[in-house]
């Protein structure tokens, strides 16, 4: 049975998440959405603001689904699964203060959930007018950006062209692998967001492989760096080390994205991590005579780039640039 596609929409307070979802429904009226709305207060105001005839909606209140409402979210997902014939896509709109990685972890680490649901992408909205304030005052706002597959810079009509360019640079320093788009009051064509599996899409391998050697330490000490390794890697032993690394550094590693070259396999392996969990999927095929190189992007805080580089180098099994397949 086909899995239920899931999209997480996050962004700090007032970024325009509900406006985006309303725009989604207005621009694609033929599409049936099931929406899980989460509001930190006891009354879900956002639930009353979502418009649309063909939508199922459940509101979670008095807590945040990334922490205190974990069990309730699982109960809701069970109900959603039972109603799967009534909708096309599941959208989870988080509270403004949510850590999206904790929500995404359910769809990676929980086997009963991952059998039914497929996490397609995480979209983070950024309030162009207030981004400087939120990044300065609240660490979770930068974590939301760091975990995104796509960042939508919203309310661009309220800032200058120069300021928008500055925001693009800031977002790129936090998360160099995310697609960045812009919108006015949440009005955005979500087609590019929903019609590809950005969470582990082949497209992200193209972005990783063209990234230059890169290192940035920016907002709240978030450190982003790229690593490259020529030749093949032993995927089994690498995953064992990564699992230990993630367990020890659970609160410091926000996201890892990688394209891994594996011997005796003609496709790129796409690897992404979510807290302690990880997903592995096939990417595009290597071409004959093409340089074989694995690419990694690490995003987190208090990360030792040299130690991470040494950890991965142990798993290189063919150390040459040009390998014919």
pTM for the model stands at: 0.81
Per-residue model confidence (pLDDT) at position 263:
87
Helical packing angle, 235-248 and 305-313, nearest 10°: 150
* pLDDT score of 306 more than 60: yes
Residue 149 included in any domain? yes
Whether residues 142 and 272 share a domain: the answer is no
Domain range for residue 21? 4-194
Residue 322 included in any domain? no
Whether residues 54 and 149 share a domain: the answer is yes
Whether residues 141 and 210 share a domain: the answer is no
Mean pLDDT of 279-284: 85
Please say which residue of 170, 194, 218 terminates a domain: 194
User: How far apart are alpha carbons 123 and 100 in whole angstroms?
Assistant: 10
Whether residues 299 and 165 share a domain: the answer is no
| Beta-strand relationship, 179-182 and 117-127 | unpaired
Higher pLDDT: 59 or 229? It is: 229
Model confidence at 325, in pLDDT bands (50, 70, 90)?
A: very low
Residue 167 included in any domain? yes
Domain total of the chain: 2
Question: Strand (E) positions, the chain?
Answer: 4-11, 33-38, 55-60, 89-93, 117-127, 150-154, 179-182, 215-217, 222-230, 253-260, 267-274, 277-285, 293-301
Burial 91-119 (b: 16+ CB within 10 A, else e): bbbbbbbbbbbbbbbbbbeeeebbebbbb
Whether residues 101 and 128 share a domain: the answer is yes
Whether residues 114 and 223 share a domain: the answer is no
- What is the chain's mean pLDDT, rounded? 82
User: How far apart are alpha carbons 34 and 132 in whole angstroms?
Assistant: 33
Per-residue model confidence (pLDDT) at position 131:
92
Whether residues 167 and 224 share a domain: the answer is no
Whether residues 33 and 119 share a domain: the answer is yes
Per-residue model confidence (pLDDT) at position 194:
80
Whether residues 63 and 164 share a domain: the answer is yes
Asked if 212 and 296 touch (Cβ cutoff 8 Å), the reply is: no
Selection from 228, 225, 300, 214 nearest residue 259 by Cα: 228
* pLDDT score of 71 more than 90: no
Residue 289 included in any domain? yes
Residue 318 included in any domain? no
Residue 14 included in any domain? yes
* pLDDT score of 1 more than 80: no
Per-residue model confidence (pLDDT) at position 184:
93
Asked if 61 and 41 touch (Cβ cutoff 8 Å), the reply is: yes
Residue 30 included in any domain? yes
CATH code of residue 225: 3.30.1220.10
pLDDT digits (tens, 9 = 90+) for 72-130: 788 889 889 999 888 999 999 987 777 888 888 888 888 899 899 998 889 999 999 99
Q: Give the range among 23-27, 98-102, 206-210, 314-318 with minimum mean pLDDT.
A: 206-210
User: How far apart are alpha carbons 235 and 229 in whole angstroms?
Assistant: 13
Higher pLDDT: 165 or 53? It is: 165
The DSSP code for 324 is -
pLDDT digits (tens, 9 = 90+) for 229-276: 998 999 999 999 999 999 999 888 988 999 999 988 889 998 988 888
Please say which residue of 161, 194, 227 terminates a domain: 194
Please say which residue of 194, 225, 241 terminates a domain: 194
Asked if 38 and 97 touch (Cβ cutoff 8 Å), the reply is: no
User: How far apart are alpha carbons 185 and 43 in whole angstroms?
Assistant: 24
Rounded to the nearest angstrom, the gap between the alpha carbon of residue 299 and the centroid of all alpha carbons in its chain is 12
Per-residue model confidence (pLDDT) at position 70:
60
The DSSP code for 276 is T
Whether residues 181 and 209 share a domain: the answer is no
Mean pLDDT of 183-201: 77
Whether residues 188 and 206 share a domain: the answer is no
What is the percentage of the chain residues whose pLDDT exceeds 70?
82
Whether residues 42 and 152 share a domain: the answer is yes
Residue 114 included in any domain? yes
């Amino acid at each position: 049975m086909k899995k239920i596609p899931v999209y997480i929409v996050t962004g700090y307070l007032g970024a325009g998440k509900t406006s985006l979802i309303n725009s989604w429904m207005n621009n694609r009226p033929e599409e049936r959405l099931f929406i899980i709305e989460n509001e930190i207060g006891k009354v879900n105001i956002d639930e009353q603001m979502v418009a649309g005839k063909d939508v199922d909606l459940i509101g979670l209140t008095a807590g945040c689904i990334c922490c205190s409402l974990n069990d309730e979210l699982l109960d809701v997902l069970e109900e959603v699964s039972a109603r799967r014939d009534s909708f096309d896509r599941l959208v989870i709109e988080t509270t403004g203060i949510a850590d999206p990685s904790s929500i995404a972890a359910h769809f990676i680490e929980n086997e009963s959930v991952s059998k039914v649901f497929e996490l397609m992408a995480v979209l983070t909205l950024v309030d162009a007018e207030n981004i400087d304030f939120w990044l300065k005052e609240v660490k979770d706002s930068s974590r939301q950006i760091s975990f995104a597959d796509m960042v939508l810079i919203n309310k661009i009509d309220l800032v200058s062209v120069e300021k928008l360019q500055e925001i693009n640079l800031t977002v790129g320093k936090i998360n160099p692998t995310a697609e960045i788009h812009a919108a006015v009051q949440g009005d955005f064509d979500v087609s590019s967001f929903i019609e590809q599996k950005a969470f582990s899409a082949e497209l992200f391998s193209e972005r990783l492989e063209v990234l230059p050697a890169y290192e940035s330490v920016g907002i709240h000490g978030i450190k982003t760096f790229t690593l490259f390794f020529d030749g093949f890697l032993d995927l089994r032993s690498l995953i064992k080390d990564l699992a230990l690394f993630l367990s020890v550094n659970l609160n410091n590693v926000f996201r890892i994205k990688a394209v891994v070259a594996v011997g005796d396999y003609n496709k790129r392996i796409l690897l992404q991590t979510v807290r302690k969990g990880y997903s592995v999927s096939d990417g595009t095929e290597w071409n004959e005579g093409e340089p074989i190189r694995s690419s990694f992007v690490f995003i987190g805080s208090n990360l030792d780039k040299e130690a991470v580089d040494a950890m991965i180098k142990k798993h290189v099994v063919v150390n040459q640039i040009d390998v014919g397949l």
